[in-house]
Amino acid sequence: MRRDLYDQTHEDFRAAFRAFVAAEIVPHHDRWEQAGRVDREMFRKAGDNGFLGMAVPAEYGGLGAQDFRFNAIIGEELQRAGVIGSGMCLTLHNDVALPYFMEATTPEQRRRWLPGMVTGEHMAAISMTEPGCGSDLAALRTRARRDGEHYVVDGAKTFVTNGLNADLVIVAVRTDPTERHRGISLLVVEEPTPGFTRGRHLDKIGLRSQDTAELFFEGARVPADNLIGGEGNGFTVLMRNLAQERLGLCVSAISAARTALRHTVDYCAQREVFGTRVLDLQNTRFTLAELGAKVDAIQVFVDRLIALHLEGELTGEDAAKGKLLTTALQQEVIREGLQLHGGYGFMREYPIARAYLDAPIQSIFGGTNEIMREIVARTLETSYGSKAPS
């Protein structure tokens, strides 16, 4: 289906980024998958080519392009090339971490951090999840005690994307132990900081080239000037930025579904059984036709969510609906595609097998899909009942 979301400027950006992926990511992806992390040189080259911090104002070295469509193109093209694991350092940096540095910081902090985030000198991460504390952010236990011009941080974080490579880590901490939501603050921990160490390089089943780590804080002294958003406002800032994070996951998931569908159609068109192409078997045609219809329909919904975000009207509830639908479809398309590949679908040399391993996390990170259902369920009466607008 024709999409009306992008204009020629966006398509020129797509062509440039597609060429970058082909030259700087695809040739190294298998090596990075084995190593469990990408080379920082690729990240710096992304900065050199204008693919980092596109929304950063020109005064801090960016393009001033506060247009999420550029972010969406990066997510789409990484999935199209089958290298989302190696490229997630870019999407995490642009989609998830950057808004905190732009919206919750002082002018002095922006002057300190944003130029390096544009050039690739600084890779960013955000550290919320703790061992034994997943989606319930208000229950986090990492403490930050004010001591003169520093906060002294003690605690542990896990499942930190970019956890090994990042130079700037936004850490959710508890600054007031007597409060739940209002006791949370955000500190930017820079490398090196005494008392801040990186733990295990976590061994994942999929997205292996995307480095994921544990982080530990033992009396880590973080300058008070690295507090962002104001003390006690961390939970509010986190919630404000989750909608864009989940929108990025929607883009990635629907793009992964379309890519898996393409691989499956191409395979079935060249594979024969009993003298007949697999694509000419009615069961295959009906299965793929239904999946194609779902992909096109949900793509329209995702494009509408992007348009709402551009207008400043994307709600957390709609972002949750998008994440719920797209990640479920991604896994359905990949599961059916693997089945239609037969035994070859179980071989890692085939893209569908690698997609099968990468897909499950999509319904977990950014808030599990069980949490997405709860968010949507809270709006049942006002969205679908007699109280809903006619």
DSSP line for 68-135? HHHHHHHHHHHHHTT-HHHHHHHHIIIIIIHHHHHHSS-HHHHHHHHHHHHHTSS-EEEE--BTTBSS
Q: Using CA atoms in the order 38, 41, 44, 49, what is the torsion angle rounded to 10 degrees? A: -100
What is the CA angle 202-369-298, rounded to 5?
115
> Tell me, what's the pLDDT at 16?
98
> Tell me, what's the pLDDT at 136?
77
CA distances from 376 to 295, 330, 361 (A): 21, 20, 20
> Tell me, what's the pLDDT at 86?
97
Using a 10 angstrom Cβ sphere, with 0-12 exposed, 13-18 middle and 19 or more buried, the burial of residue 153 is: buried
Q: Which of the residues are catalytic?
A: 245
What is the CA angle 40-43-47, rounded to 5?
140
Using a 10 angstrom Cβ sphere, with 0-12 exposed, 13-18 middle and 19 or more buried, the burial of residue 260 is: buried
Residues of the chain with pLDDT under 50: none
pTM above 0.85, yes or no: yes
Residue 33 CB partners (closer than 8 Å, separation 6+): 85, 86, 208, 209
> Tell me, what's the pLDDT at 278?
96
Using a 10 angstrom Cβ sphere, with 0-12 exposed, 13-18 middle and 19 or more buried, the burial of residue 185 is: buried
Q: Output 68-71 pairs: Cβ under 8 A, ≥24 positions apart.
A: 68/244, 68/247, 68/306, 68/309, 68/310, 69/5, 69/6, 69/10, 69/306, 69/310, 70/10, 70/13, 71/95, 71/248, 71/251
Domains and CATH numbers, the chain: 8-122 (1.10.540.10), 126-232 (2.40.110.10), 236-384 (1.20.140.10)
Query: E strands along the chain, which residues?
Result: 124-127, 143-147, 150-161, 168-174, 184-190, 196-201, 212-223, 227-228, 272-273, 276-277
